Structure 1
């Protein structure tokens, strides 16, 4: 325990103590990265009240994995559920599932990844322009349930500007650990005032190699490759917009299919299919006093089948969702500048048995209507940020008790630039979340997680009270930031493995573990720190970071699947056509276990490297790259994974590829 505090304290002290030894050269211009999910569209470095990270460009391509969780797993405060290569969802500050909202271009992904860790996120990072991680008042625009934060995958499928000439990129890569083949590409063009976007991705991987035995501390278990860790994904999207001086209006359509294995003892597979339709428009200065009016609507037709050993469906998951958003951004009024709007959502969700047994979750219609407001104001040198959201949610199952929830959420913060380039901020927030459909109405087998799930239709809504203190240096060659937070959650919902074994019908047996959803008050607290040197400039660069979090039930015991304490460091070099980097992340052993967890997660070291060379060929920038992941071939088991004891992460992996930009 003393060691973990020393590691985190050292990183924070290093960040604070080194801030004075370098300032930004006058001739160095560091490009600002705009956070599209923020109502003020401010830059990443301005996000002290809504701590943000934006992955884009070379950094995104270097970190891109087969899942969104893998891609973001080394960001500050972010871990992954790591349910095999096909399904890994981001976990933010120990919050997972429905408490972390998944967005695509600012609209809900509308999959069922928040229901269970074996369900993949139906958004593809390979064709993303950027991926944003956001917390704080701005998150209230997208849902009261985003207590942990949100992740927004921006692929710009509906274009908002006219390109002077066709632009895009294409990439092909091969990975050795799983014989993985991946090809992706995007193209943007304009025909008069019509902008067109096309993107696509194809990925095929075999079972991946593992460094040691499959089962933790069992030398007699299998080794070599992890069974049922293969993936086969196809994704394509098409969008078009009419763009003029007054704004734009456009539409898009996309299709995603994903067949992937679940590396559990049962060896289930998931066959996922999603069709998505979106329309979007923006009118600049629609009338006096307002800057713009934005409208979005999306319909998602999602389904996946959980397949048994014989390839036959066992459970069919379906989610039909229609979402709308209206937003008005007003000009400063009494010094306040912000956005208000209305959001609606209508979903039909079910998880029905394909074999005639009990249904895991009955067909349930959910509707929600919300109004939101996010504002910002400068009081002298202090910047205030505030948000509020009122939401009404209804859950109506075909059988069982219908429920309604009235939710109130709000957030307020202040940022004080106590000297040029330095800032300190304090954010207070209160958020309420309605229990998810599966938490209320589950009563059936879930073979992929080897559980028989039991919900409770009488659950109360969750209520979260959060306080966060942030300090940062946002200018100069050396930059740093540090955050400490405490989140008090009343009626926190979690799945408790009781120890009872049941059969597929819910009777005593030996096939499935009984998982009963329960409520209890909980407290989550933690700290993060990061220091960067010359992050985007030429020459040498570096980064050090550390993060830690604790999730406990107030009645005693830890919350399940808590992330391990981590420290990390990286160095990079960029000059003309050459770019290279080396990073090391150390995670401590995690022994803070829930009452039903039995195995401590061992510590690990993850060493990664990258090198690339870019040459100009006519109108193309050709980049040849080599990525090396887990160079130490360490046996990495993630404490946030349900399968940590039987499903290690991939062993040493070399990724070769070429990328063309035009």
Structure 2
């Protein structure tokens, strides 16, 4: 695959990916992050589609979701096929998929949040061949969405801002209408991947990707209000190439070496300024080796990256952004190992250093970020972050139990963050303001997970997460660190029958502690009260209805309709988080293959 390249700097900018197209989602930490570039300080989320079929088949899947809270409906249709022998192509597979979503205003326990609906339309096509020399796959995809932005966070003056923070603008009525302020985002991808067998012990993996991310944001105030012209627009063009050589040197030593490169151009055809137009080039070379002997596995790797960015001058009566050229070179390295102490117990650890150059928004932002309803100010003097990370994990994987305890300490020099400052008054309204700053930081934390299966009909689960971040110079807490969180659930299974396969009932809870690890100089009074949510789930692996097989699931989130505000919510200054939500999911395989995929 290719690295997702969109306007990823926004806290509310979710990856432009069709969730129905994902077959596997994996969080990569440790030595494996070296394969993905210099910016992977905290890890990588890898989204994998299902492999294309190669045998003679014609099959598909229809999936639908319904959400009660915002009355969202989602429908996805996938059809795929395979042929054993196509002249000059070998085994041939293909897939077509289309997804549509529509949602209206979200509902907090006591009111609706006006103008928070969205629409989404995605489609993709993939084709691939498999021959004796390897595989080749071509994928085309389109993601498109229109999102309303909570209108109560966009106010006209300082008095309105203070009033909105005390008594937010809400409504008792529901609507599917999407008015300004809003966002319109499309993301198009052309990706080619190939795997060439060189010998019985080596193969070559190559990929090329082109991505076009088009983001437009519309204002409810100012010169563009009431028109079809966006307040600002961004078009990001990205070309990327990757080449990886995989080799098994012996039965206990394997390695990967490769190079990667990217060319990126950001255009800003809108009339307002948030970030400048820029050109970016980057390249890297890396090597990763893994040795496995008996119960011990050791992985070590090294990566060299170069990054060049030219930000073009922007001049206006209010905003001036200078022409700026900057290049950065850095080395990342990692050493990790796993020791299997017994058949069910193992311990692993990683020591790593990595770096990340500041993004254009962190250095040059000057304007209203509509999605988060805040005014952001960059700092052109920011330098790359450098992290030194230690982490360790103790694991147990038994027949009826699984336990994992992990801890990390990450020292980051030049840690970049958003620092609150006094509100800013503009012709488009008055907004909470934040400026990008950097400090030498220390992030520490731990996670514990326990799963127990005392009986065939009972499964227990618990998880606890704790993270702390401090400024090393002053020992004060950092902004926007997550609050302590714990989840627990009990799942009950009933016997499989002729109609129901592995039916289950699950009751769970999420408890979030009050966030009191805050800087003393916080300008905006933050609602940091802890909260607890009760959740419910009912489902089955399959339901047989004659010749039709369904995979159903009903989930109820926040069963008690509890009022709460999460500390990391960008709208926490104004409104509560969403209330009770009932989610119905149904998946039905189509064609000759009735397996879930």
Whether the TM-score (by the shorter chain) exceeds 0.5 is yes
Distance (whole Å) between structure 2 residues aligned to residue 247 and residue 524 of structure 1:
44
* 2:495 counterpart of 1:601: no
Match of 2:54 among 162, 183, 196: 162
Match of 2:207 among 296, 313, 324: 296
Partner of 1:582: 507
CA distances 1:467-493 after superposition (whole Å, capped 9, x unpaired): 112101023210100001100000111
Distance (whole Å) between structure 1 residues aligned to residue 333 and residue 567 of structure 2:
32
Partner of 1:251: 138
Partner of 1:91: none
Closer/same/farther in 2, CA of residues 644 and 163 from structure 1, 3 Å limit: farther
Further displaced range: 182-191 or 584-593: 182-191
* 2:403 counterpart of 1:480: yes
Partner of 2:418: 495
CA distances 1:553-589 after superposition (whole Å, capped 9, x unpaired): 1233322211111111112234422232222111111
CA distances 1:412-462 after superposition (whole Å, capped 9, x unpaired): 112122222101112111001111121122233333333333323332211
* 2:447 counterpart of 1:528: yes
Q: 1:504·1:512 contact (CA, 8 Å) conserved in 2?
A: no
Q: 2:333·2:354 contact (CA, 8 Å) conserved in 1?
A: yes
Partner of 2:192: 279
Q: 2:354·2:387 contact (CA, 8 Å) conserved in 1?
A: yes
Distance (whole Å) between structure 2 residues aligned to residue 151 and residue 296 of structure 1:
18
Partner of 2:436: 517
CA distances 1:17-40 after superposition (whole Å, capped 9, x unpaired): xxxxxxxxxxxxxxxxxxxxxxxx
Q: Give the C-alpha shift of residue 242 in structure 1.
A: 1.1
Partner of 1:95: none
Distance (whole Å) between structure 2 residues aligned to residue 432 and residue 498 of structure 1:
27
Match of 1:239 among 119, 126, 146: 126
Q: 2:2·2:191 contact (CA, 8 Å) conserved in 1?
A: no
Secondary structure at the aligned position of 1:139 is classed as helix
Distance (whole Å) between structure 1 residues aligned to residue 425 and residue 442 of structure 2:
32
RMSD after superposition? 2.2
Q: 2:214·2:236 contact (CA, 8 Å) conserved in 1?
A: yes
Match of 1:561 among 480, 488, 491: 480
Partner of 1:626: 554
* 2:386 counterpart of 1:463: yes
Distance (whole Å) between structure 1 residues aligned to residue 510 and residue 439 of structure 2:
33
Closer/same/farther in 2, CA of residues 414 and 658 from structure 1, 3 Å limit: closer
Q: 1:590·1:639 contact (CA, 8 Å) conserved in 2?
A: yes
Partner of 2:460: 542
Residue segments in structure 1 that go unaligned for 5+ positions in a row? 1-105, 213-223
Q: 1:331·1:337 contact (CA, 8 Å) conserved in 2?
A: yes
CA distances 1:277-310 after superposition (whole Å, capped 9, x unpaired): 11111112x147x421111111111111111223
Secondary structure at the aligned position of 1:402 is classed as strand
Q: 1:140·1:389 contact (CA, 8 Å) conserved in 2?
A: yes
Partner of 2:320: none
Q: Give the C-alpha shift of residue 334 in structure 1.
A: 8.9
Across the two proteins, how many residue pairs are aligned to each other? 533
Q: 1:178·1:209 contact (CA, 8 Å) conserved in 2?
A: yes
Alignment of 1:381-420 (within 5 A): 381-399=295-313, 400-420=323-343
CA distances 1:61-82 after superposition (whole Å, capped 9, x unpaired): xxxxxxxxxxxxxxxxxxxxxx
* 2:254 counterpart of 1:337: yes
Match of 1:180 among 72, 76, 84: 72
Secondary structure at the aligned position of 1:439 is classed as helix
Residue segments in structure 2 that go unaligned for 5+ positions in a row? 85-90, 155-179, 221-225, 314-322
Of Structure 1 and Structure 2, the greater strand share is in 2
Distance (whole Å) between structure 1 residues aligned to residue 295 and residue 99 of structure 2:
47
Secondary structure at the aligned position of 1:469 is classed as strand
TM-score of the aligned structures, taking structure 2 as reference length: 0.85
Partner of 1:76: none
Distance (whole Å) between structure 2 residues aligned to residue 455 and residue 239 of structure 1:
40
Alignment of 1:253-268 (within 5 A): 253-263=140-150, 265-266=153-154, 268=181
Distance (whole Å) between structure 2 residues aligned to residue 652 and residue 513 of structure 1:
29
Partner of 1:142: 36
Secondary structure at the aligned position of 1:361 is classed as coil
Deviating 4+ runs (over 6 angstroms): none
Q: 1:115·1:438 contact (CA, 8 Å) conserved in 2?
A: yes
Distance (whole Å) between structure 1 residues aligned to residue 83 and residue 547 of structure 2:
20
Q: Give the C-alpha shift of residue 409 in structure 1.
A: 0.6
Q: 2:56·2:83 contact (CA, 8 Å) conserved in 1?
A: no
Distance (whole Å) between structure 2 residues aligned to residue 160 and residue 124 of structure 1:
17
Match of 2:219 among 305, 308, 317: 308
Distance (whole Å) between structure 2 residues aligned to residue 485 and residue 328 of structure 1:
31
Match of 1:645 among 573, 580, 583: 573
Secondary structure at the aligned position of 1:189 is classed as strand
Q: Give the C-alpha shift of residue 500 in structure 1.
A: 4.8
Closer/same/farther in 2, CA of residues 160 and 338 from structure 1, 3 Å limit: farther
Q: 1:351·1:360 contact (CA, 8 Å) conserved in 2?
A: no
CA distances 1:114-171 after superposition (whole Å, capped 9, x unpaired): 3112323201222311111111110110121111111122224xx4551442333211
Match of 2:101 among 177, 193, 203: 203
TM-score of the aligned structures, taking structure 1 as reference length: 0.77
Larger radius of gyration: 2
Distance (whole Å) between structure 2 residues aligned to residue 425 and residue 308 of structure 1:
50
Q: Give the C-alpha shift of residue 635 in structure 1.
A: 1.6
Distance (whole Å) between structure 2 residues aligned to residue 498 and residue 181 of structure 1:
40
